Chain A
C-alpha cells in the first residue's frame, strides 16, 4: 500500500513535468514572437529589429529550449509564473484573483454532479426497468449529448430572460451561481448517472447481492447497503476523470456567464498571444488534472479493503 502510494505520487510528479515541458514547447513553437510583442507594447509602431533582438536576448529567448524550460521551471517552482503580456500583471496576482472564481464554479458543479448522478443512478436502479428508469436513462442520454454552450443559452433564455429569476451575467449572490453550476454539471452528471446505474445493475446480479436478499434485506436495502459500496471504486475513478474535464467546461461557461475565472483568462491569453499567460494557465490546468486524479486514485485505493488491507501471505 505504502509503496503503491509512493509510486502513484512519483508518477504524478513525472506526469506534471512531462506535460509542462510539452506545453512549454508547444507554446514557444506557436507562431508569434514574444520579444516583438513586448517591443510593440513598449514602443508602439516604433519598435525596430534591434530593439526586438535586445529584448529577446535579455529574456534569454535565444537560449536552447531545454535551458529555457529549466529556467521557467525554476521560477514556477518558486511561484513566479512571469508577467502576463496582456494585462501586465504578474501571473501569481492574476491567479490570486481568478482561481477562487473558477474553484467556486468547479466545486459547486462537482457537488451538483455528485448529488445528481447518485440520485439519478440509484433511482434508476431502484425502478429497475420501470418508467422512472427509462425517463432517467433518456435524460442522461440528452444530458451527455448536449453541448454546454447550448445548455447555457437555453438556461439563460428561460431563467434570466423569460422568468428573470437570475442575472444573465456576472455573479452576485448564490442564485447567480445556479445557472453556471447546472451548465457545467449537466454533462458529468449524465455520464456518472449511467455509471452508477449500470454498475449497480451489474452488482445486483452478483452472488453477494443474493446473500443480501437471503439476509432478509428488502431490495432497496440491498441496493444501498450491499451494492452501492461495491460501485464506490469505479464511481470515484470516473468522477475524478469527469471532474477534471470540467475545467474545459469552465472555459466555455466562464465566458458565457461572464465569470472572471481562469478559463476566461485562458481564452483571452490565446486571443492576445499572451504566451506567458497561456503557459501559466496551462500549467495550472495540468497541476489540477494530475493532482485531482491522484487524489481520487488514492481515495479509491483507501476505499477498497482488498487494497487497504492486503491479505497477509
Chain B
C-alpha cells in the first residue's frame, strides 16, 4: 500500500454563525494515497463537505470556523501554513470539483482563460502553451468543439458540459489530489454516469488521489477503492469498498446500504429508510451519535462514545465504531 498523500486526523471543526454554532466535524479523519479513490459517504449534513474542504480553508465566508487536528498534504502540515502558502497549495496540489457547476463557475468569466491561467501559474506553462493546454483539457474532459467553448461564458453551456469544464479547471493545475464534492448531484441522471466515468478515466490516466464525496452507493461501488462512512461528524465505519459494501458492520452503514434500491440482489423485498433524523449537532452528547436511530442500541450506547476498532483480516484495515455489534456477532478485532 502506498503511503497517503493527504492525511487528516482527529479533526474537530466548530462552525459559528450569528444564529447557530455546530460541531460539524467531531474527531474524524481520513487519508488517501496516490492512485487511490476514497469515497466519503453519509447523509446530507453529516459533515462530508466541511470535513474535506474545511482544512483547505474552502468553507464559505460568513461562517466562523474553529478547526483543530492535523492535516498533512505531502507530509506538510497544512493547518500551520500561512494564508499565502495555503493559497498556493489549494491551487496547485488540490483540484476541487463542486456540487453545482452552475453556481460554482463565475458567471462573468470565460471558461477557457481561467483554465489557461491555472496551467500557466501552476503547471509552469507559457501563455501560448497554457492556451493550448486549456483547449486540450476541455477536449480531454469530453467537451465537443473545445476551441469554441474556450471563449464561452458559463451560461452558454449546459449543466453537464459545465461540470466537465469544472473538472477541466480542477485539472488545469495538474493537482495531486482531486476532491469531488457530490459532482453529480445537481446533474441529470443521464449525465451523471458520464461524469463519473470521466473522473475514473482521469484517475486511471493520471494516477492521482481522488476523494469522492457522494451519497450515490452505486458510484461508490464503481469508483471507490476505500470508503469512509460519516455520521454526525464522526467516522462510523471505514475500509475497502468491498468490505464496507458487502460486509458492513456498523448499523448505520447497514441501514444506508439497505436504503439503496437494488444495491444488493437480496434487497428486492424493497428498500427501507433509516428511521429518524440525524442528531442536532448543536447539542453534543456523550455516547454514540447514532443511538437515537439505532435498532441495536444498548443502554451503554448512550454513555460511552464508541471508538473505531479494526475488524477482519483484510490488507486494507476495516474499522468500525460499534462495540455492540462487534461483540454481539462475535467479530474478531485486533488493535
Q: Which of A204, A210, A218, A230 contacts B98 (CB 8 A)?
A: A210
Report yes or no: B109 in contact with A226, Cβ–Cβ below 8 A. yes
**With contact pairs A215-B118, A305-B155 given, residues A207 and B100 touching in the complex (Cβ less than 8 Å):** yes
Report yes or no: B107 in contact with A306, Cβ–Cβ below 8 A. yes
The answer to whether the Cβ of A213 comes within 8 Å of any Cβ in the partner chain is: yes
Residues of A within 8 A of B121 (CB): 216
Residues of A within 8 A of B114 (CB): 215
Q: Which of B45-87 contact A (CB under 8 A)?
A: 53, 56-62, 83-84, 87
The answer to whether the Cβ of B169 comes within 8 Å of any Cβ in the partner chain is: yes
**With contact pairs A215-B114, A218-B83, A305-B153 given, residues A226 and B106 touching in the complex (Cβ less than 8 Å):** yes
Q: Which of A174-214 contact B (CB under 8 A)?
A: 201, 204-214
Q: Among the listed stretches B89-97, B137-145, B250-258, which one makes contact with chain A, having 4 or more residues with CB under 8 Å of it?
A: B89-97
Report yes or no: B103 in contact with A207, Cβ–Cβ below 8 A. yes
Q: Which of A206, A216, A305 contacts B90 (CB 8 A)?
A: A216
For A2-37 the 0/1 string (1 means CB < 8 A from B) is 000000000000000000000000000000000000
Tell me if B's interface is mostly helix, strand, loop or mixed: helix
**With contact pairs A216-B121, A216-B122, A217-B87 given, residues A207 and B108 touching in the complex (Cβ less than 8 Å):** no
Between B58, B155, B166, the greatest number of chain A beta carbons within 10 A of the residue's beta carbon is seen for B155
Residues of A within 8 A of B56 (CB): 214
Report yes or no: A230 in contact with B84, Cβ–Cβ below 8 A. no
For B190-221 the 0/1 string (1 means CB < 8 A from A) is 00000000000000000000000000000000
Residues of B within 8 A of A213 (CB): 57-58, 87, 90
| Size range of the chain B interface in the assembly | 35 or more
The answer to whether the Cβ of A311 comes within 8 Å of any Cβ in the partner chain is: yes
**With contact pairs A216-B90, A218-B84 given, residues A210 and B104 touching in the complex (Cβ less than 8 Å):** yes
Residues of A within 8 A of B90 (CB): 213-216
For A264-299 the 0/1 string (1 means CB < 8 A from B) is 000000000000000000000000000000000000
Residue of A nearest to B89 (CB): A216
**With contact pairs A210-B98, A215-B169, A306-B153 given, residues A230 and B91 touching in the complex (Cβ less than 8 Å):** no
The answer to whether the Cβ of B25 comes within 8 Å of any Cβ in the partner chain is: no
Residue of B nearest to A227 (CB): B106
* Subset of 17 A-B contacts with CB under 8 Å: A206-B60, A207-B60, A207-B98, A208-B107, A211-B105, A211-B166, A212-B106, A213-B57, A213-B58, A213-B90, A214-B95, A215-B117, A216-B88, A218-B87, A226-B109, A309-B153, A311-B155
Shortest Cβ-Cβ A-B pairs, 5 listed: A216-B91, A229-B108, A214-B96, A305-B153, A208-B106
> Which residues of B line the A interface, CB within 8 A?
53, 56-62, 83-84, 87-92, 94-96, 98, 100, 103-109, 114, 117-118, 121-122, 153, 155-156, 166, 169-170, 173
